[in-house]
Amino acid sequence: MPMSRRSLLTLAAAAAASPLASALAQGMPPLQRKANYRVGFAQTESNNPWRIAQTDSMRSEAQRRGDAFVYTDAAASAAKQVADVNSMIAQRVDLIFLAPREERPLVPAVMAAKRAGIPVILLDRRVDGAQAQPGRDYVTFIGSDFIDQGRRAAEWLDGAVNGSARIIELQGTTGSSPANDRRKGFADYIAAKSGMRIVASQSGDFVRDRGRQVAEALLQAHPDATAIYAHNDEMAVGAIAALEARGRRPGQDVTVVSIDGTRSALQAIIDGKMGATVESNPRFGPKAFETLDRYAAGETVEHWVKVPDRFFDRNNAAQLIGDAY
């Protein structure tokens, strides 16, 4: 029996009120509920323990659920990562998990997936918010508060050095959201501290050996530096090697603080060479797939699914190293 105009209007109003309808109204691709999915995971690179732990977490959660896992490694190239997403689109995966290497170059990949009707969930790093928005262009961002991580590193350092330090900063990948935000959180905190000054700041691309090389050059130019703030543990471990090569004692002559919580960093804390590291939790698998399920069920997905982070220093490193990656 054909529906009356009134029933049709009632149905349309009910649909418009649902969260799914509001996402669809913004042009967001829907995700059909299924027993099993075929998902893509576009990783940035695999050259550090953090990335490997993140990939392992995603892969093992997909396996546990029986979902097919299409994995790509962009090998530290934003251009390759864009091509990787395009290839996932061509393969018609159900949904793409994307860890965008840099904020701007990955925007076209997000938009291409949207145009192709494939939902995207950003993992751990953001894209440029002026060009792409959660709830409109992609489902959501799942990740840590990188600004707060930088602030917490600065706050710990402030206490450890009694408010006085000449700091070398080793930045992460230029143009990436963790590098931008960790820099900002740290800089904003020390802005009010007259005794704490960044004397040099350069990118080590989140890579251990690059961090070592950059630290070597900056220590040569600033032999009176008393602290190193690295945007990740791998670069901090590289910087510790650079300090030792110069005959300086990390943890005694120079205070080292960092972000991530890797096994090597916790070991360096136990050995007294690193002061502290703010956790950046890489184990995204369960939260990522739970968010996929919520989206498929038509639930409202918040624009930022926050990942909580712990803090490691000499009070808990030995106790927690067993669980580190």
- Of 40 and 172, nearer to ligand AHR (C-beta) is 172
Under rule CB under 6 A, residue 178 binds ligand AHR? yes
- Give the pairing of strands 140-143 and 276-279: unpaired
For the bound state, the minimum distance from the C-beta of residue 233 to ligand AHR, rounded and expressed in Å, comes to 7
Four-CA torsion 101, 104, 108, 111, nearest 10 degrees: 90
The reply on whether position 50 binds ligand AHR by CB under 6 A is yes
261: contact with ligand AHR by CB under 6 A: no
CA–CA gap between residue 297 and residue 324 (Å, rounded): 34
Q: Which two tokens stand for residue 148?
A: 């707060």
Rounded Cα–Cα distance for residues 72 and 41 (Å) = 6
Residue type, 220: Q
Cα–Cα distance, 228 to 214 (Å, whole number): 12
Question: Could you say which residues in the range 85-124 bind ligand AHR, by CB under 6 A?
Answer: 124
DSSP annotation of 315 reads: T
Which CB, 29 or 185, lies closer to ligand AHR?
185
Determine the residue type at 256. V
* Closest approach of ligand AHR to the CB of residue 255, in Å: 20
- Cβ partners under 8 Å of residue 274, min gap 6: 236, 240, 250, 251, 256, 257, 258, 265, 268
The answer to the question of residue 126 lying near ligand AHR (CB under 6 A) is no
Q: How far is the CB of 306 from ligand AHR (least distance, A)?
A: 14
Tabulate helix, strand, coil % of the chain (nearest 5).
45, 20, 35
**Which one of 2-10, 44-52, 109-117, 244-252 is the stretch in contact with ligand AHR (CB under 6 A)?**
44-52
> In the bound complex, what is the minimum distance in angstroms from residue 27's beta carbon to ligand AHR?
28
- Residue from 42, 51, 53, 277 touching ligand AHR (CB under 6 A): that is 51
Residue number, 150 or 178, with CB nearest to ligand AHR: 178
Q: Report in angstroms the alpha-carbon separations of 29 from 9, 115, 266.
A: 23, 8, 42
260 binds ligand AHR (CB under 6 A): yes
Minimal distance, residue 297 CB to ligand AHR, in Å: 28
Interface with ligand AHR includes 284 (CB under 6 A)?
A: no
48 touching ligand AHR, by CB under 6 A: yes
